Amino acid sequence: MSRQIEVCLSPVMVPHYQMAGRIVVVIDIFRASSSICYGIDNGAHAIIPVATVDECLSYADQGYLLAAERNGEVVEGFDFGNSPYSYTAEKVKGQTVVLTTTNGTFAIQQAKQADQIVLGSFLNLTSICNWLVAQDKGVLLLCSGWKNKFNLEDTLFAGAVVHQIKSSFTHFCDAAIAAEDLYLLAKFDLRAYLYKSSHSQRLKELNIENDIQFCLKQDCCQAIPGLVGDRLVDILK
């Protein structure tokens, strides 16, 4: 069976892509998909992605951890935001986290017509690539971007996935080709290449350079967060 892999460079472009019958990989490298992968790998029972701060607050009486980020910062009054260092085993093992972020959780909401939604990051790159190859469906790599605009880090990860799994697919869009070309240009020093990216600069101004370095680690997680009902769980379990 012929399979297609495509890259959507921004959630605002989602209406132009076919979702039905496909797996959508939502990507938000700095930082939502990275932190979610890390949290699920560290034993979080589930992470519930929601679109708005108010929706996140509506879970306040259910005993869940509440996490909210806007413009790179923790929203006042919440347990934490979307720094990967907030998703250690000590903090999230056995817990359910309700999370809203500027870009990543919004992108998840836009992909609801897909057959399956999973999250990808450099942290689980090999694990998710191996899993995608084993499925019998086309793949759409959805970059969360920054407020519906293109960004470099999500596109580089999409290119890394294309590079690893393209031999199992027969059709590619131009965005997939361009993403792979960018990744091949940057892969030997991702941090140096991304130093000039807008979101990298944004996070540096917030003094969270450590988050950037952490989110570029490769293959330190095996978990693949997938949306089951309203929550993300490890689909490998």
Query: Which tokens hold the place of 74?
Result: 């923790």
User: In a structure prediction context, what are the per-residue pLDDT tens digits for the chain, which is 237 residues long?
Assistant: 579 999 999 999 999 999 999 999 999 999 999 999 999 999 999 999 999 999 999 999 999 999 999 988 999 999 999 999 999 999 999 999 999 999 999 999 999 999 999 999 999 999 999 999 999 999 999 999 999 999 999 999 999 999 999 999 988 999 999 999 999 999 999 998 988 787 677 777 777 789 989 999 999 999 999 999 999 999 999
Helix locations, 22-88, DSSP H? 32-41, 53-57
- pLDDT of res. 199: 66
- Cα separation, 103 vs 146, in Å, equals 6
- 73: domain CATH number is 3.90.1560.10
Query: Which tokens hold the place of 14?
Result: 């989602």
* Count of domains forming the chain: 1
- pLDDT of res. 195: 84
Structural domain containing residue 56: 4-234
Residue closest to 37 by CA, chosen among 118, 133, 116, 145: 118
- pLDDT of res. 1: 55
- Cα separation, 15 vs 37, in Å, equals 26
Paired strand residues for 49:
99
Tell me how far CA of residue 42 lies from CA of 70, 136, 141, 201, in angstroms.
24, 29, 24, 28
Q: State the amino acid at position 191 in one-letter form.
A: R
Beta strand segments in 71-214, E? 73-74, 96-100, 116-120, 138-143, 171-172
- pLDDT of res. 69: 94
- Cα separation, 152 vs 57, in Å, equals 31
